[in-house]
Structure 1
Amino acid sequence: MQNMNSENLAHLLNECRYDAANKTAEVEITDSLQICLYPNSVQKIGEVVFFIARSKLEKSLWILADAVKIKKFAGFEGQKIHALPKMILLQCPLSHNNAEQIRSLFDFTRAKLIGSADSFGFGDRLGIANPAHVRAASKSKMSAVFAQQSIRELQRTHRKPAEVLDAATWAVFQEGYMRGFGADADHLKTTDDIDLMVRAGFTMFTIDPGDNLFDAADSLPQEEVSRKLATELPDYPGEKKSDCISRYAGQKIQFTENFELIPETSEVERCLLKYANVIAMTLNLYNHLKQAWPDHPSEVELSVDETDSVTTAFEHYFIVNELKRRGVTLMSLAPRFVGRFEKGVDYIGNLDEFVAEYKKHQLIAQKLGPYKIGFHSGSDKFQVYAAAAGLGIGRVHVKTAGTSYLEALRTVAACDPTLFREILDFSRNLYEQEKKTYHVSAQLARVSPAMEYGDEQLLRLFEDDDARQVMHVTFGQVLTAESTPGNYLFKDRILDCLVRNEETHYAFLTRHFARHLRPFDQVNE
């Protein structure tokens, strides 16, 4: 390493911005200060240089300027280092305040609207995977959502919305990614949820009215459906129930020469009973978002995927058309597809049947929108990606989260097998309880105690569906369990392992997400 004076350092920063390898560059500022610079993070405003670098294992934002110009950036929290002639080097923590300052200076670090473009959501439960997500997305044509977290995930990981958005900001800055990114506030159920995520700066709002869906309508006798409509369901939002039913019953809804819907009265009644409260709740949350926050950029996805019953073509049409009549514009709808979209594993079901139904969903989306069809629990659904992308119709939004957590554990298994064995046994002990809020089918008996696996066998667990799901659904407990009050049992050791083995972690993630993105990119070539 070469000792840097101010001129040498400024020259290095100017040159390394264009380093295609995007690896860290070791720089010795003084005898007592060495940093590992992320070359693609280097940005300039006039003669002031900004970059991200590690000192030991801690990442910081660094600002290089002369004594006069540095005063213009007094809003940054940091420590001045007067080691360079004529220049001041300011070392700033990757704090929320400094993320806000960076967003005020560099447009590409702020979340934006994604719109109708094909898009991919990279959920990150640890707050450390986003740079690898950026590297994967930079090689893809799909628009990226780097800040993505559900209310449930926030509660289980004890994270705050601002932490999620800040992590995405620092990631795109570190990697020099200037194409823009979305921020998805997932699984929103209340107006308080919306307010929380708007204040944090999120731009995509996924409404989850699943608790208001009356799944039992599918199995009720028709006379019971009619009775409940007449006696238990209040008048439909904005009109009489009978008017809504007559709008669809016996009416031909044409999509293509080979695809039309002519719903019978019984089908419409059953659909109304099943989804009336879903539509009312969605309308309430949508109107709150648009009326309480009229100047905030926002786009809305509707999720009806976490149900026991498949979303039929008519149900899809009914839900969106009724919302559209009431002024709701969707950027995406995530239906409950035929087959099983379980957490952390590939699609389970008849792929031909999926393709046939998926085509219908896309045709409906084109007629009523256009809007995207959303794939929730989208991690690792490689059969579906290939089938859907190969059709070459419509637009998609793919949402992933748990698969990044599993790649973090893969890194731990590769670099610290002892720690991973502790996590595996902890997860096994919690699986039966934690699986209750997820769609999974893993059998605990098929995942052995950790000591029965050799080090190489530990890595093979990540190709095993049962093991993947056991690890997937227990993430909240793994990341928040404490050995003593205030001391995490696993979280700090996991993060330390990932930081010490950053390039291994990034390599696992970029390889894994390249496989996710490739089918959609190939069809767009």
Structure 2
Amino acid sequence: MSDDLKLPRFSVGVGDRFAHQAKAQLQACIMAADAGVEVVPVWNKSNREHMIIGSEPSATRLAADAAVKELGWTKPYFLDADHINLKTVQRFLDPCDFFTLDVADLIGQPAKPEDVTQFIHNHPELVGEVVIPKITEPFKTDKAFVEGVANKFLAAVKHAGEIYRLLVENKGVGRFVPEVSMDETDYPQTPVELLIILAMISDEKIPIQTIAPKFTGRFNKGVDYVGDVAQFTKEFNEDLAAIAYAVHTYGLPDNLKLSVHSGSDKFSIYKPMYEAVKATGAGLHLKTAGTTWLEEIIGLAEAGGTGLEIAKEVYSEAYAHQAELCGPYATVINIDHAALPSPETVNGWTSDQFTGALRHDQSNPAYNQSLRQLLHVGFKVAAKMGDRYLKALEANEAIVAKNVTTNLFDRHIKPVFLGL
């Protein structure tokens, strides 16, 4: 398999809800290059986010292209049609060159019996003792185990193949980067399950360059990892080994790498991630998604005046519409509603009090992760403000941009890609 458009070893998914922070985000990648590591930006914005905000993927492309031109970025960059399926892909076809194939709805749906039979027939190496180099203990499987994995994931992978072939028809072979997302399922995949999934993807002739598996623990939006760091570290290293083996065994692209979804702010697992990719030479794609939107609110609050008023108004409206805002994100947030301050309390806050509660600084006693998660899903409130919100961003561009760049470089790129 070959793919002309290649995703470099390190990449960072940068969400930009309102298409105003592309320059500030790119600046963090420039700082990474100056520090000696190439981390390329992948601007991502899902169909759901476009629907909420009333935007088009073409606007995300324009913002990215303008930032690249203005800052003189000569390295690769990409635009991700984030979590698309056959129903939503159409408007992403022209502007995007990275496609996250979302097959979550089909995970667990039984595949056709003849497809399962054929898969097992094609892969006798997956039945019995499976030895993955760099994993100490071999995995012992039998036909029933492989059948069970196929029944859980094969229909989803077949659907990913349909989406991929539609993309090839419209964009041509090698003109985009495909990712398959397997993270939206109940249980983490074991390394041998990941290997089986990669064999399925190879059979579908999808030249994936990134795969997003499910890991142990909770990856809640915008807050730190919740779970056993030692167990995550073991899984992460074993997944790297499974990918390396699959590349060798099934002819998948040699730059195939792990994609960590909802990867922003997972500070407690950044060191083991850095150490693993450094030791193995593996690549990594870190999706940071909505953390930029939170930095906009922090910047506005820090600016004071009208900016602080807007930040307080966003909180007040989000507080009043918690059920509506949190519903679509129920599996990736964990808000203690009793820990949320009342809007009346927040309306009396200074800039320092607001930013102290929202900024992800766990050493600050004012930090409130429930407030942070509520505001993370509260961008719909700002979308309804329309021009008033956008004009506030533009009026306070310098202070907002500083927060966006600092957050992306200092809290994400430095620990994950530079080990600092």
Q: TM-score range by the shorter chain?
A: 0.7 to 0.9
Aligned length: 386
Deviation at 1:246, TM superposition (A): 5.2
SS in 2 for 1:138: helix
AA partner of residue 19 (structure 2): G
Question: Aligned AA for 2:228?
Answer: N
Note if 1:159 corresponds to 2:52: no
For 2:45 and 2:291, how far apart are their aligned partners in 1?
Answer: 13
Secondary structure of 1:323 counterpart: helix
1:369-388 to structure 2, matched below 5 A, reads 369=247, 370=254, 371-388=256-273
Contact 2:112 2:155 in 1 (8 A): no
Residue of structure 1 aligned with 2:211, choices 323, 330, 333: 333
Q: Which one has more relative contact order, counting CA pairs under 8 Å at least 6 apart?
A: 2
Question: Is the 2:14–2:43 Cα contact (8 Å) retained in structure 1?
Answer: yes
Residue 509 of structure 1, aligned match among 394, 400, 404: 404
1:360 deviates by 0.6
- Alpha-carbon contact 1:134-1:171 (below 8 Å) kept: yes
Tell which deviates more after alignment, 346-355 or 236-245: 236-245
Kept in 1: contact 2:223–2:373 (CA 8 A)? yes
Aligned to 2:382: 479
Residue deviations 1:376-434 (CA, integer Å, cap 9, x gap): 11111122222100222321001112100000111122222222211101111222232
Counterpart CA distance in 2 for 1:261 and 1:241 is 19
Which string of whole-angstrom CA distances, capped at 9 and with x for unpartnered residues, describes residues 277-310 of structure 1? Answer: 1111011111222234326711111111122221
Residue 174 (structure 1) aligned with residue 70 (structure 2): yes
Q: Which residue of 1 aligns with 2:363?
A: none
Residue 205 of structure 1: aligned partner = 99
What is the alpha-carbon distance in structure 1 between the residues aligned to residue 103 and residue 135 of structure 2?
33
In the other structure, the counterpart of 1:458 is: 354
CA deviation vs aligned residue, 1:463-504 (integer Å, no higher than 9, x gap)? 3210111011122x21333xxxxxxxx232222121111110
Taking the TM superposition and a 5 Å limit, the aligned residue runs for 1:30-45 are none
Kept in 2: contact 1:198–1:296 (CA 8 A):
no
Task: Name segments (4+ residues, structure 1) moved above 6 Å.
Answer: none
Conserved 8 A contact 2:116-2:154: no
Separation in structure 2 between the aligned mates of residue 381 and residue 142 of structure 1, nearest angstrom: 21
TM-score with structure 2 setting the length: 0.86
- 1:390 equivalenced with 2:275 (yes/no): yes
Partner of 1:494: 389
Amino acid at match of 1:494: Y
Q: Which residue of 2 is the match for residue 418 of structure 1?
A: 309
Query: Highest CA radius of gyration, 1 or 2?
Result: 1
| Paired residues for 1:189-268 under 5 Å | 189-190=85-86, 192-200=87-95, 202-214=96-108, 233-237=111-115, 240=118, 243=121, 248-256=126-134, 258-268=136-146
Question: Which residue number corresponds to residue 136 of structure 1?
Answer: 28
Which SS does the other structure have where 1:122 is aligned? strand
Give the equivalent residue in structure 1 for 2:15: 123
Aligned residue runs from structure 1 range 410-449, under 5 A? 410-415=298-303, 416-438=307-329, 439-449=332-342
Q: Which residue of 2 aligns with 1:273?
A: 151
How far apart are the structure 1 equivalents of 2:268 and 2:38?
Answer: 18
In 2, Cα distance between equivalents of 1:395 and 1:242 = 30
Confirm whether residue 363 of structure 1 aligns to residue 218 of structure 2.
no
Residue by residue over 1:170-210, the C-alpha shift from the partner in whole angstroms, topping out at 9 and shown as x without a partner, is 112222222231111110111x533422222x111110100
Other structure's SS at 1:301 match: strand
1:342 aligns with 2:220: yes
Residue of structure 2 in register with 1:24 after alignment: none
Residue type of the alignment partner of 1:517:
I
Asked if structure 2 preserves the Cα contact closer than 8 Å seen for 1:185 and 1:204, the reply is yes
1:400 and 2:288 equivalent? yes
Equivalent residues of 2:82, 2:100 under 8 A apart: yes
Query: Unpaired segments of 5 or more residues in structure 2?
Result: 248-253, 359-366
Listed as ranges, the matches of 1:63-74 within 5 Å are: none
Q: Which amino acid aligns with 1:207?
A: L
CA apart distance, 1:238: 8.6
C-alpha separation in 1, matches of 2:52 and 2:73: 30
Q: Give the distance between the partners of 2:114 and 2:202, measured in 1 at CA.
A: 15
Deviation string 1:216-236 (CA, Å, 9 cap, x unpaired) is xxxxxxxxxxxxxxxx64235
Cα distance change on mapping 1:376 and 1:300 into 2, 3 Å = same
When residues 214 and 274 of structure 1 are mapped into structure 2, their CA distance, relative to the original with a 3 A threshold, is same
Alpha-carbon distance, 1:311 to partner = 1.9
> Unaligned regions of 5+ residues in structure 1, if any?
1-111, 216-231, 482-489
Aligned equivalents of 1:236, 1:170: Cα separation in 2: 50
Larger strand proportion, structure 1 or 2? 1
Matches within 5 A, 1:22-37: none
CA distance in 2, matches of 1:479, 1:421: 11
Q: Which amino acid aligns with 1:206?
A: T
Q: Which residue of 2 aligns with 1:21?
A: none
